């Protein structure tokens, strides 16, 4: 049996060879036009692909129950925008902390936190890209959006070069005087995006 958002689906598991075929059929359905799948439960266990097209390897004969949950596209966009705000605050706090540690010559802890900050920044840019590509025309909503992306990308490249040269004071300066102002631009952009997502 296939359950989609709490209701039994109009098609049967036995009509498909594997999980991927089922998911493709579900996504092609007219009722899913403005929705996005958020969770898939196979035999009451959450399924997420460990490698590309893993769903193709799960034959429907192995599936006793399949539950699919989805949300409207606009709701997903709002959720992502909400997360962006939280991530932005974490990045601000992290940048201040890393700069302070470098200025106090606590290099090992600063480097560890700086690596975390870079990872979070990459995730942040990934979420921005997803929002832009999948849910909302961000360029239309935020006129200087492309400039913000370019600025932060250039800044990350510059910080990597400074990191290789082990110039901790310059890295602190970049974090405090360039990274933090760029992040305040993002906060304005995120607020604008959230208020302009329809629905």
Query: For the residues 127-142, what does the mean pLDDT come to?
Result: 66
Half-sphere exposure of 126 (CA within 13 A, CB side): 7
The pair of structure tokens assigned to 168 is: 């901790």
Any idea where the domains of the chain sit in the sequence? Answer: 2-64, 75-196
CB within 8 Å of 29: residues ≥ 6 apart: none
Cα–Cα distances (Å) from 17 to 43, 45, 70, 198, in that order, read 16, 20, 23, 38
DSSP run (H or E) holding 45: strand 45-46
DSSP run (H or E) holding 197: none
pLDDT higher for 134 or 153?
153
Helix 145-164 with 107-130: angle, nearest 10 deg? 150
Place 66 in a pLDDT band, splitting at 50, 70 and 90.
Answer: very high
C-alpha span between 72 and 75 (Å, rounded): 5
The predicted-structure confidence for 184-195, as pLDDT tens digits, reads as follows 777 777 777 777
pLDDT of 169 > 80? The answer is yes
Place 29 in a pLDDT band, splitting at 50, 70 and 90.
Answer: confident
C-alpha span between 110 and 54 (Å, rounded): 39
Instruction: Answer whether 135's CB lies under 8 Å from 77's CB.
Output: yes
Name the pTM for this structure.
0.63
pLDDT of 145 > 80? The answer is no
* Sequence-ordered alpha helix ranges (H) in the chain: 19-28, 73-103, 107-130, 138-141, 145-164, 168-174, 180-196
pLDDT on residue 2: 92
Instruction: Answer whether 57's CB lies under 8 Å from 40's CB.
Output: no
The predicted-structure confidence for 100-124, as pLDDT tens digits, reads as follows 999 999 888 999 999 899 888 888 8
C-alpha span between 162 and 108 (Å, rounded): 16
Q: What are phi and psi of 80, to 5 degrees?
A: -65, -45
Place 58 in a pLDDT band, splitting at 50, 70 and 90.
Answer: very high
Residue 28: exposure state from Cβ atoms within 10 A (0-12, 13-18, ≥19): exposed
């Amino acid at each position: 049996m296939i359950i989609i958002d709490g209701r039994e689906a109009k098609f049967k598991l036995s009509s498909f060879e594997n999980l991927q075929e089922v998911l493709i059929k579900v996504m092609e359905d007219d009722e899913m036009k403005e929705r996005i799948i958020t969770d898939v439960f196979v035999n009451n266990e959450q399924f997420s692909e460990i490698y590309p097209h893993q769903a193709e390897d799960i034959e429907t004969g192995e599936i006793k129950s399949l539950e699919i949950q989805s949300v409207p596209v606009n709701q997903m966009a709002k959720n992502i925008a909400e997360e962006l705000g939280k991530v932005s605050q974490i990045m601000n706090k992290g940048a201040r902390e890393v700069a302070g540690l470098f200025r106090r010559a606590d290099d090992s802890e600063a480097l560890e936190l700086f690596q975390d900050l870079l990872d979070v920044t990459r995730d942040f840019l990934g979420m921005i890209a997803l929002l832009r590509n999948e849910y909302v025309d961000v360029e239309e909503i935020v006129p200087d959006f492309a400039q913000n992306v370019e600025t932060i990308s250039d800044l990350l490249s510059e910080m990597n070069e400074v990191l290789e040269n082990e110039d901790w004071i310059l890295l602190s300066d970049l974090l405090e005087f360039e990274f933090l102002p760029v992040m305040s631009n993002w906060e304005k952009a995120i607020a604008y995006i959230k208020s302009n997502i329809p629905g």
